[in-house]
Chain A
């Protein structure tokens, strides 16, 4: 049968029963609306979170830490040879090692501030790795010029309790008290371990501006001293606690991580790669999006049952017409196609209306969500940095739109199949006799 004529007749039949067609289509519209609404919102949510995380992390910095989560955090130490072999890996711009000194106190005159950790770094290399994060409130010269016994102070250390006046500025002299070693002393009650503290004078070469958390670290709480000074204090063997690696292309992170891991015995180190982490989060969010959309698509199944119901009624009403069609030479497949064309058209119509309304629904939902959560979720990734309002913009995905429409049409055709087959298999003589 001519395809155009099948569609024309299907359309004419649908128009004839306008109310019935509208109600059936409405079911499909609601299903598609729910699917597209949740999919668009989910997509927006996923992309927003991923983008904010990408902004928050230095994507091109990998952190190598000792030990592994599953084998226990061993005190694996890094040395110059490790750093050297890591730097030689293709795709690495620079690798720099860091030594951490716990619980230090800075003194200036009668003023005193405490820092959770003092970090001994090679300033020239370190500033290259974290170039974006070194913004100075005050500075003397440039990192390459800083010699032994100089110090850089993070914002929160320099402004304890957010005081206006800084503890120190570039050029000031400060002294630092730190734990030199644990000494075991024999006392009458047994061997006692006593911490031995030492104080050393430093010149402040820079103070940092407030930066906040970036990725895994917050330099506001850190102070920095030259690695050479730390080595002078603690002597050989010259070992360090962390290695930061700057890669040319964050997308190479996986390959580079593997290359680094190959340099160490198994399970002795872990590598934190922001790209890998973000990819995991992105994957989890995609799964949640898929899950929500699957739940929404249940409403499409309900619409499908509506289609089945209405097609069954339609087949009964048109039994005689089916008989006539068969008498004049329509094949079973033609009858089948005639009914399926109608259900497919309902699916198409439902999709054409449902996709835009679904997208509208996702906007509405995003506004409602932002109204309800305003002012509650401080500092999370869902906030617009300027307005502090939670903000997730729904994203219209043509893939989802086409997918939802196809799914709608397929559902309609599948549910129409049973009654349409019944119509196709009617005995023509009995159908003609049907009143």
Chain B
């Protein structure tokens, strides 16, 4: 395969060490990877392999101890906290295993929140949030609060929220991990559809090999080291 698409996310020799009580735990040991625009990349590995830590570091939510992360050509380690938050706001969309919606806000307000942070006018942001909720199939649920939504619906809201600022890349941490198999596959299909139809770049972290197989490319992570890269099927089994 000829790499013709530009690289939008790049990690170079990224290392991260945690201190758990008195023990030093090396979560990441020199990881180098590139994500191309429009790619659907899966980071796959057993629990404790450092997948989530890697995702946090890639998304500017956490800072690596070693190495550098570049998003859209910007070296994240040169940024202060405020600038890093700006990058998360404008260039990254996060999707989490436990949805992480704000319980007091309706689906619409949850999706709209990043636009609120970006100082977009209320009228414009509500229109945009409504459109995106429609895109993820929640047109008639926009005024429900998270507690009134099923797990699958909540994850759709979370995906809508991740997409609202037109991010360069969406980072999903075990997006199916808290859903039953059927619903989980619905979410995977939704992400694949967004990837194919809109060219949205995705990086998903999963310990479920069948989910990882749907990606264009799989990175196998173990003990904080990349143990292998292979091409995925790129398609979802029905």
Determine if A260 is an interface residue (Cβ-Cβ < 8 Å).
Answer: no
Chain B 155-168 interface mask (CB, 8 Å, partner A; 1/0) = 00000010001000
Q: How far is the CB of A35 from chain B (nearest CB, A)?
A: 34
CB-defined contacts of B85 to chain A, threshold 8 Å: 326, 329-332, 334
Chain B 107-135 interface mask (CB, 8 Å, partner A; 1/0) = 00000011011111010000000000000
Q: Is the CB of A328 within 8 A of B82?
A: no
Decide: A329 near B90, CB < 8 A? Known: A321-B102, A324-B102, A429-B62: yes
Decide: A12 near B104, CB < 8 A? Known: A1-B117, A329-B89: yes
CB-defined contacts of B94 to chain A, threshold 8 Å: 327-328
Q: Is the CB of A2 within 8 A of B116?
A: yes
Decide: A327 near B88, CB < 8 A? Known: A16-B104, A334-B117, A428-B62: yes
Chain A 1-44 interface mask (CB, 8 Å, partner B; 1/0) = 11011000100110010000000000000000000000000000
Number of A residues near B (Cβ < 8 Å) is 26
Q: Is the CB of B89 within 8 A of A432?
A: no
A323 to B100 CA separation, bound complex (whole angstroms): 9
Determine if B31 is an interface residue (Cβ-Cβ < 8 Å).
Answer: no
Q: Is the CB of B82 within 8 A of A429?
A: no
Q: Is the CB of B102 within 8 A of A333?
A: no
Q: Is the CB of B88 within 8 A of A329?
A: yes
Q: Is the CB of B81 within 8 A of A331?
A: yes
CB-defined contacts of A432 to chain B, threshold 8 Å: 61, 96, 100
Find the B residue at minimum CB distance from A335. Answer: B85
- Identify which of A2, A13, A16, A428 contacts B119 (C-beta below 8 A): A2
Q: Is the CB of A331 within 8 A of B122?
A: no
Interface residues of B in 53-69 (CB under 8 A from A): 56, 59, 61-62
Q: Is the CB of B81 within 8 A of A328?
A: no
Q: Is the CB of A1 within 8 A of B116?
A: yes
Find the A residue at minimum CB distance from B81. Answer: A332
Q: How far is the CB of B53 from chain A (nearest CB, A)?
A: 8
- Identify which of A9, A327, A334 contacts B61 (C-beta below 8 A): A327
Q: Is the CB of B104 within 8 A of A328?
A: no
Determine if B86 is an interface residue (Cβ-Cβ < 8 Å).
Answer: yes
Q: How far is the CB of B15 from chain A (nearest CB, A)?
A: 16
Q: How far is the CB of B109 from chain A (nearest CB, A)?
A: 9
Q: Is the CB of A329 within 8 A of B116?
A: no
Q: How far is the CB of B174 from chain A (nearest CB, A)?
A: 13
CB-defined contacts of A12 to chain B, threshold 8 Å: 104-105
Decide: A331 near B82, CB < 8 A? Known: A5-B116, A324-B100: yes
Q: Is the CB of B90 within 8 A of A428?
A: no
Q: Is the CB of A327 within 8 A of B100?
A: yes
Q: How far is the CB of B127 from chain A (nearest CB, A)?
A: 15
Find the A residue at minimum CB distance from B57. Answer: A429
Q: Is the CB of B61 within 8 A of A328?
A: no
Q: Is the CB of A333 within 8 A of B82?
A: yes
CB-defined contacts of B122 to chain A, threshold 8 Å: 2, 4-5
Q: How far is the CB of B215 from chain A (nearest CB, A)?
A: 23
Q: Is the CB of A428 within 8 A of B61?
A: yes
CB-defined contacts of A325 to chain B, threshold 8 Å: 102, 113
A330 to B56 CA separation, bound complex (whole angstroms): 16
Which of A5, A326, A327, A332 has the largest count of B CB atoms less than 10 A from its CB? A327
Q: Is the CB of B81 within 8 A of A329?
A: no
A420 to B136 CA separation, bound complex (whole angstroms): 35
A321 to B110 CA separation, bound complex (whole angstroms): 12
Decide: A13 near B117, CB < 8 A? Known: A328-B88, A332-B85, A429-B61: no
Q: How far is the CB of A421 from chain B (nearest CB, A)?
A: 13
Q: How far is the CB of A59 from chain B (nearest CB, A)?
A: 61
Decide: A1 near B119, CB < 8 A? Known: A326-B85, A331-B81: yes
Which of A1, A12, A325, A331 has the largest count of B CB atoms less than 10 A from its CB? A331
Find the B residue at minimum CB distance from A318. Answer: B102
CB-defined contacts of A332 to chain B, threshold 8 Å: 81-82, 85
Chain B 64-86 interface mask (CB, 8 Å, partner A; 1/0) = 00000000000000000110011
CB-defined contacts of B92 to chain A, threshold 8 Å: 329
Which of B86, B101, B117 has the largest count of A CB atoms less than 10 A from its CB? B117
A325 to B81 CA separation, bound complex (whole angstroms): 14
Interface residues of A in 314-372 (CB under 8 A from B): 320-321, 323-334
- Identify which of A9, A329, A429 contacts B86 (C-beta below 8 A): A329
A115 to B148 CA separation, bound complex (whole angstroms): 98
Interface residues of B in 188-224 (CB under 8 A from A): none
Find the B residue at minimum CB distance from A12. Answer: B104
Q: How far is the CB of B17 from chain A (nearest CB, A)?
A: 14
Which of B94, B120, B165 has the largest count of A CB atoms less than 10 A from its CB? B94
Q: How far is the CB of B69 from chain A (nearest CB, A)?
A: 15
CB-defined contacts of A334 to chain B, threshold 8 Å: 85, 117
Closest 4 CB pairs of A and B: A329-B89, A329-B88, A331-B85, A5-B116
* Other A-B pairs beyond A324-B102, A327-B100, 12, CB < 8 Å: A1-B116, A2-B120, A2-B122, A9-B105, A326-B61, A326-B85, A328-B89, A328-B114, A328-B161, A329-B89, A332-B82, A333-B82
